[in-house]
Structure 1
């Protein structure tokens, strides 16, 4: 029996991309700081001029999945961290954005095999978002930890798969029988019609 478990050490060889929404930058800048602090304390060079972390700024959360996917398909990164904040307003806009962003980020990871961390705060108020981005705690730190663990874990799994000549033909990359219809649509390849 093999047990795979991500590690938080030996991060010096890992590469990350941070995709950050500019909208609600009061929140997202704090998330970036927390994430950088975590990665740096685990041996990652977070300097924008360095070679371990690349940064991509997008207008808002809705654009996070597109840029994350484009970065993931380059095969340059061990994990991608999407950072943003969606705060409820007076219209249903919040529900649409939060739903589509979460689906898009999840689909990116499933489609590419690259861990894509959902670092998007969804809050009812600005106060709630601020509490999650630094007043009470900084979730950016946790998103950094998630990325470190998943990057390490996926390296182990991929290494074992290569060494043992996997994948197992009985296991499909996406089992459409167990996924909801809306999620199937999100991960479906575009038709050639």
Structure 2
């Protein structure tokens, strides 16, 4: 989590495995697109920075964060991806809808990863305000998309090393 003590985009570049032979899927929510487009840019550019080729990155847009688990499952079933990065943004509102969407999305993403024994990365911002989302998708707290891409690379390398 981004705090005053941690920027989501700060990491030791030398600790990241080579991603040149890895294949990634990215599913990104169109809801709160002003935030999720920043997350996508961060994730995509970070994958490429660490060796992933553009041909080995599949990007698919979906309506909202609630749909991320099914989209991730579909990529795992129909492609040869090593990992799926799920990117979304849910902003707290005045009703309990936020709680239901966040919980279902988180549990769904976890369940898909366990079902397929492949990394399915939770890159979903669950913020109280739009500004918090902007701050964490390329703003003053860095980019959760960078963090999600690094996590995907490390988890693929972990599984390949077993």
- The verdict on a shared fold, with TM-score over 0.5 as the criterion, is yes
Task: Report how far residue 125 of structure 1 moved.
Answer: 0.4
Q: Structure 1 residue runs of 4+, over 2 Å off?
A: 7-10
Runs of at least 5 residues in structure 1 that lack an aligned partner in the other structure: 1-6, 158-193
SS in 1 for 2:132: helix
SS in 2 for 1:19: strand
- Looking at secondary structure, tell me which structure has more strand per residue: 2
Task: Report how far residue 36 of structure 1 moved.
Answer: 1.4
Residue 89, structure 1, aligned to residue 97, structure 2: no
Residue 150, structure 1, aligned to residue 158, structure 2: no
Task: Report how far residue 123 of structure 1 moved.
Answer: 0.3
Residue 43, structure 1, aligned to residue 51, structure 2: yes
Separation in structure 2 between the aligned mates of residue 151 and residue 102 of structure 1, nearest angstrom: 20
Residue 125, structure 1, aligned to residue 129, structure 2: yes
Q: Which has the larger radius of gyration?
A: 1
Q: Which residue among 30, 35, 50 is the counterpart of 1:27? A: 35
Q: TM-score, normalised by structure 2?
A: 0.87
Residue 66, structure 1, aligned to residue 70, structure 2: yes
Report if aligned partners of 1:35, 1:142 keep a CA contact under 8 Å in 2: yes
Task: Report how far residue 9 of structure 1 moved.
Answer: 2.9
Match of 2:82 in 1: 78
Task: Report how far residue 111 of structure 1 moved.
Answer: 0.5
When the two chains are superposed, the root-mean-square deviation of aligned CA atoms in Å is 1.2
Match of 1:12 in 2: 20
Q: Deviation string for 1:108-167 (max 9, x for gaps)?
A: 00111010000000000001111111111111111110000001111122xxxxxxxxxx
Higher relative contact order (CA 8 A, sep 6+): 2
Separation in structure 2 between the aligned mates of residue 60 and residue 74 of structure 1, nearest angstrom: 21
Q: TM-score, normalised by structure 1?
A: 0.73
Runs of at least 5 residues in structure 2 that lack an aligned partner in the other structure: 1-14
Task: Report how far residue 11 of structure 1 moved.
Answer: 1.2
SS in 1 for 2:138: coil
State the aligned residue count. Answer: 147
